A and B are shown apart, each in its own frame.
Chain A
Amino acid sequence: MAVFEQQATKKPPIYQIGIIHWIKENLFSTPINSVLTLFALYFLYLIIPPLADWIFFDATFSAVPNDQCNKEGACWSYIRENINLFAYGFYPSEEYWRPLTVLGLVIACVLFTRLMGTYEYKFKIVIAMVVILPVVAFFLLYGGLGLEVVETHKWGGLMLTIVISVVGMIASFPLGIMLALGRKSEMKIIRFFCIIYIEFFRGVPLITILFMASVVLPLFFAEGVNFDKLMRALIGITLFQTAYFAEVIRGGLQAIPKGQYEAADAIGLSYFQKTILIVLPQALKISIPNIVGFQISFFKDTTLVLIIGLFDMLAIVGLSSSDQNWLGNETEGYVFVMIVFWVILYSWSRYSKTLEKRFNTEQEHQKA
């Protein structure tokens, strides 16, 4: 009679667990997949070693003049020597503390907003900051009231890139809301003009609007009235972004159930009360992920100002690499600017993804 004997537990076969199993499942599951994997590995082998050599192993990191750089690799000493140009343009070096103070103030305000949590007057304080901060920032950057005046044609580099994108964002936001409301309005003439405006600015490339702002706009003002180049670029960019913001916010307006409008009418709210208390808070909340998405693409668009002769970070590459001492370093310059833009834009888009997720879960809670 057979007696049951406990057998020693067998380990799972080696190809069923751990890293080998993972490789088999994910890289070599079918013959086609295996071929693709090998092909991809070969591709990486072709790309990565030369790139790594150029960026790290053959590169010159120490601060040496151009002719002592190893020409096999990147000459990073060019970036080292010109870093202030990339950051501030021609802003006088003894005044660098001013843009830095502005940056510090902005960061402090953002942190402060976070710290407030759900404080009762948070919204009002934030509005106050959004209004006051640009004024203080302009005073610090431009000068006046005892500070030495720094003309805007000396602004440049990353500082200018950030100034343009932030001003565009702040100015086009309220205008965009007004246009979106206008396009949804029942007043035919208002709606007509809003549609014309939005479709016009969305239909033409930003570069033509910048040309328009830099060559045609001065003709529209009475003699003696003149804006500097930066101001004209800012006007062009704001007009352009307003049209896109308006469409994003209109999307939010359309997503609000009709009952909300009717309920607001039923309790006797006026148009402005209805809009400010009921409609906009909901519409803006829905549009936030899209607004951030557009802000990202507007940040990319700021580089276009180089075509009308402003020295943003990208324009600095052409400028500094045509300097007698640093000839032929365009590639290093472009790669450096690419890295800066990529880091900013990538973290920004990650942030917008988390925003989207947060927004989605909230909606699911409401449904449940």
Chain B
Amino acid sequence: MTKSKSFFSFLYNNEVRAFLFQVMALLAIVYFFYSAIDNMFVNIESRGIQTGFGFLEAESGFDIAEYLIDYSPTSSNLTVFYVGLINTIVVSIVGIIFASLIGLIIGIARLSNNWLIAKLAGGYIELFRNIPILLQILFWYNIALISFPHPRKSIEFFDTVFVNLRGIYLPKPIAEDGFIWVLVALLLGFVLKILMKRFFKKKHDDVGIETHTFGYSLLLIIGLPVMVYWALGSPLYFDYPALKGFNFRGGMSLSPEFLALAFALSVYTATYIAEAIRSGIESVSKGQKEAAQAIGLTRIQSLKLVILPQALRVAIPPIINQYLNLTKNSSLAAAIGYAELVSTFAGTVLNQVGQAVEIMLMTMAVYLTISLFISLVLNIVNHRMKIKER
């Protein structure tokens, strides 16, 4: 018995259907982009906006409060882009360092057997993670503005650190010729330390004699650079800030915007890092600790060899994700005017030039690159930390 086939029966074939559906979707997407871009060109023309990346060469014409590379109002818009990018990276790195430190302390304190400490840590987490980050940034900025004094009435610490409305002024270290050798010595110290560690580990594996290397390590990492530093006759001096006229000259300064942003980002992200660390430590089963004790490991050994490697496997991926979130949240500086990428380049330059499409594309590309880079790191870390099964 043959089944009668109508002409359209091929439409019931799953593969044909999938193919047709995809072609239709593709056409719809292409049409959508085509009409959007077409409209865009019409609109851009009718509004008299220029196109292309020529604006990057033009003079920016405005001043930026904080920059780490040479910048003046006569610099190009491309320089503004770099200034913003570097400031984004600086505030992110500072935020990541402090968020990790605070998060580590709070995460461990949360598991403390001291009731008061555990409750305080819990309170910290509940308090700061339930307030929007933008609100925290604005709040701390406001606190900094109302509590820091006028430059003439600066708060001084030992005549070297000054705090006032314009920010915190610190002595600036300036390296003379030869300082590079101190850094080389530091690097050498690290390399030697690793080699030494390896040597003694091999010895331990071979003959079972353990050597405590902590003292030697300290000597190599701190002693060696200090010796080189003295031998070269201290090739480093400090430029101290001093009040000249209405403002401070010399030294280096951290603006209230930077301080508020870095502080809020660290405090907020630390709550998530603390939770990640806590859940990491809690994920190690009690049996592991008891087994470590049973085979006679000391507390430090059991922590180092048994508990931490397992806890980190759980804790590190979410922590890296939080680093990415912190970097993305640094863009909220636009609300208080810290000169990072979004507030300078996607803010001031966009307002002056008006080429929204190009500028937004460049800004988004930066963040996409950062986030792709971090997910790459995350993948590598995940791969290396995978449980090795034999």
Task: Report which A residues bind B (CB closer than 8 A).
Answer: 26-27, 29, 33, 36-37, 40-41, 43-44, 186-190, 193, 200, 202-208, 211-212, 215-216, 218-223, 300-301, 303-304, 306-307, 314, 317-318, 330-331, 334-335, 337-338, 341-342, 345-346, 349
Contact = CB atoms under 8 A, between A and B. Distances in A.
Contact of B363 (A208, A303, A334): A208
Contact of A203 (B117, B342, B371): B371
B114 A208 contact: no
Contact of A202 (B46, B120, B139, B371): B371
B364 A314 contact: no
Given A200-B368, A212-B364, A307-B134, 9 more contacts: A202-B371, A208-B364, A211-B360, A215-B360, A220-B39, A222-B42, A223-B43, A223-B46, A342-B131
Given A40-B117, A223-B42, A207 B143 contact: no
Interface of B: 18, 21-22, 25-26, 29, 35-37, 39-40, 42-44, 46, 112-117, 120, 126-127, 130-135, 138-139, 142-143, 146, 328-329, 331-332, 334-335, 342, 346, 350, 356-357, 360, 363-364, 367-368, 371-372
A334 B39 contact: no
A205 B329 contact: yes
A193 B114 contact: no
Nearest to A348: B130
A290 B120 CA distance: 27
Binding site secondary structure of chain A: helix
Contact of A190 (B25, B43, B130): B25
Contacts of B350: 211, 215
A83 to B, nearest CB: 18
A205 B328 contact: yes
B88 to A, nearest CB: 10
B86 to A, nearest CB: 17
A187 B21 contact: yes
Contacts of A211: 342, 346, 350, 360
A218 B356 CA distance: 11
A187 B22 contact: yes
Contacts of B126: 346
24 contacts: A26-B113, A26-B116, A36-B117, A37-B117, A40-B120, A43-B120, A44-B120, A187-B18, A189-B22, A204-B328, A205-B331, A205-B332, A205-B367, A207-B332, A208-B331, A215-B350, A216-B360, A219-B40, A301-B132, A306-B335, A307-B335, A314-B132, A318-B138, A338-B131
A221 B329 CA distance: 30
Contacts of B138: 314, 317-318, 334
Nearest to A39: B117
**Centre residue among B120, B127, B134, B329 by max chain A CB count within 10 A:** B134
A323 to B, nearest CB: 16
B40 to A, nearest CB: 5
B188 to A, nearest CB: 37
A202 B364 CA distance: 11
A43 B117 CA distance: 11
B46 A342 contact: no
Binding site secondary structure of chain B: helix
A37 B18 contact: no
Given A223-B42, A338-B139, A189 B26 contact: yes
A342 B335 contact: no
Contact of B360 (A29, A212, A218): A212
Contacts of B372: 203
- Interface pairs A-B: 8 shortest CB-CB: A26-B115, A203-B371, A205-B328, A345-B130, A300-B132, A220-B36, A215-B356, A205-B331
A212 B365 CA distance: 13
B135 A341 contact: yes
B130 A342 contact: yes
A33 B367 contact: no
Contacts of A337: 135
B134 A304 contact: yes
A301 B133 CA distance: 8
A281 to B, nearest CB: 24
Contacts of A223: 39, 42-43, 46
A303 B134 contact: yes
**Centre residue among A200, A208, A330 by max chain B CB count within 10 A:** A208
Nearest to B126: A346
Nearest to A22: B115
A314 B134 contact: yes
A304 B46 CA distance: 31
Given A219-B39, A307-B334, A29 B113 contact: yes
A353 B356 CA distance: 43
A331 B143 contact: yes
B133 A300 contact: yes
Nearest to A209: B364
Contacts of B46: 223
A220 B32 CA distance: 10
B337 to A, nearest CB: 11
A334 B336 CA distance: 14
B357 A216 contact: yes
B72 to A, nearest CB: 27
B346 A208 contact: yes
A75 to B, nearest CB: 13
A345 B127 CA distance: 10
A222 B39 contact: yes
A44 B119 CA distance: 12
B113 A208 contact: no
A205 B363 CA distance: 10
Nearest to A331: B142
Contact of B331 (A37, A207, A349): A207
A43 B132 CA distance: 25
Nearest to A37: B116
A334 B22 contact: no
Contacts of A215: 350, 356, 360
A330 B142 CA distance: 7
A115 B360 CA distance: 49
